């Protein structure tokens, strides 16, 4: 927009409106996780030291035990112990639900899909034989 031909007050008002709209336009941006913000290639994901106690159990506690813990057993599924989770891992159900594969209910229910990094950590643990470490 060429503001040279407008009176000074009108030019100032036009500039202020343009600046305000640019500022307000950026206020609605939000990201749910680092991958949305930076893209999957820029987020590091260390899967070299995945353990049940240090990686898998905390992830399940955060995302799954609200519905599949000691106080609730939605659909008869429990993830409260290593044995419970190992059973789900052997049947393929654990990876099926968190990867949102066809034929499996998408989990966690009513939450965004786990990050690719978290899914890779679970996959790494399952492929390692699901040790109780």
Give 44's pLDDT tier (boundaries 50, 70, 90): confident
Question: CA–CA separation, 60 vs 82, rounded Å?
Answer: 11
Between residues 14 and 51, the one the model is more confident about = 51
Question: CA–CA separation, 74 vs 68, rounded Å?
Answer: 6
**pLDDT attached to residue 47:** 92
3-class DSSP state of 123: helix
pLDDT over 90 percentage in the chain: 57
**pLDDT attached to residue 40:** 53
Question: CA–CA separation, 82 vs 105, rounded Å?
Answer: 21
116 close to 35: Cβ distance less than 8 angstroms: yes
Over range 18-27, report the average pLDDT.
Answer: 52
Over range 75-84, report the average pLDDT.
Answer: 92
Q: Is the pLDDT of residue 61 over 60?
A: yes
Residue-wise pLDDT for 6-15, tens only, equals: 566 666 566 5
Q: Is the pLDDT of residue 126 over 90?
A: yes
């Amino acid at each position: 927009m060429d503001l040279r031909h407008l009176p000074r007050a009108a030019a100032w008002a036009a500039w202020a409106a343009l600046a305000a709209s640019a500022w307000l336009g950026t206020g609605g941006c939000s990201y749910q996780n680092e991958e949305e913000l930076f893209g999957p290639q820029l987020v590091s994901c260390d899967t070299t030291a995945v353990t049940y106690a240090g990686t898998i159990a905390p992830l399940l506690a955060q995302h799954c035990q609200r519905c599949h813990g000691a106080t609730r057993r939605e659909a008869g599924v429990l993830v409260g112990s290593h044995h419970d989770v190992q059973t789900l891992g052997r049947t393929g159900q654990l990876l099926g639900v968190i990867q949102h594969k066809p034929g499996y209910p998408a989990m966690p229910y009513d939450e965004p899909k786990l990050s690719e990094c978290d899914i890779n950590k679970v996959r790494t643990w399952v492929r390692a034989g699901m040790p109780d470490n």
